[in-house]
Chain A
Amino acid sequence: MNLSHDSNINGIRVKRLSDASFSNEQLNHFHDFIYDQVLTAALCKVSKEYGNPPSPFSFFVMGSAGRMEQSIWSDQDHGLVFTLKTDEAQEYFLKLGKEISEGLEIAGYKKCSGSVMASNPLWCKSMEDWEAQLGLWVGESTWESIRYLLIFADARSIHGNPGLVSRLKEKAFDEVKREHLLLRMLDNTMYMKKGVGVLGQLLVETHGAYTGSINLKETAFLPFVNAARLLSFYGGIKETPTLSRISLVSDVMMPDQDKSLYSKNFSALLDYRLKHGCNRDYDSGHYVNTSKLTKDEKKSLKEILKVGEQFYEHVRRMLERM
């Protein structure tokens, strides 16, 4: 890939980031825009060297990018699916995946430490292989394979044919339902850090670089995100943003007033992180220094944490009653 072009992308990102960080929606559209630039450049380069893509494909993002809930800093989680099942096609798309992930790294997105990237054969497969793999993950139902299914649930196509990802999701939802895996999935997302103590105080870090700060990702985001993801399996919802997942649950399953309470608080949480997160780098964006918050801000944070727990409990009870 052309290096000067890439540094240019990073330049654009840094320059326009602050303009885009007024709302979560704007910010995530901006991330998508950067991704698009990198994708176009990568495709251009791979096409020049190896010819046009051998078949239709879809490049999708997962994790917070998949849910359109990225903070200012974000790391990479993505995959590829293509229709032609040949070794040559696989080789071609792995090269493309590698190019994209290199490009994204230059553009300021850290590579995924767990290697959930289109450059990894596990996440870059033909339609047929993907379907087989989803079936295998459901069949194995180990801690690891369930983890993969949960990761895949957040997939959102941002380039190519979105119908491919949509079909894979249907397959995943059906298999999970057929094998009654929802309760296992619930068990695997139970671990959450407590944000509020028994005395009603915010529980902050007592040691290390974030002393005095609360970890928003573990205490606040996880309950909302995990609960909404479980709902998506439960209700067959292909949309990925947590807010969409909540709004798309049928009223029979969850009363309207509950849905709006959960949505309102998650929305507030997204704004909260943008406004109060340290945002020096990927890690610091998850921490909020509580000593700098006003009394009202603390109160609303506690409310968010409380509602998050409530939402998760609500979903847990729903699934356990099934």
Chain B
Amino acid sequence: MEELILKLKQEIIEVLNLEDIKPEDIDNDAPLFGEGLGLDSIDALELIVLMEKNYGIKLQDPAKGKEIFKSINVMADYIQKNRTR
């Protein structure tokens, strides 16, 4: 799980172009949206694309993203349980 979390953080930094942020700066339990990383709805779309492209997870209901993208830990847990690649 630790390995997946680190990989996920690196992918998020790259895909969202978070230039000044390092993986260790992202708190595993901090909210990704609003407070914490301060991501927005366009970032949510980018994360949906990332999940499908890198882990084969297609979110049928985009509204579920709010729950899944709650924090790095929640996201990594969802990927672990649902990934197809």
- Asked if A and B are interacting partners, one says no
Interface residues of B (CB under 8 A from A): none
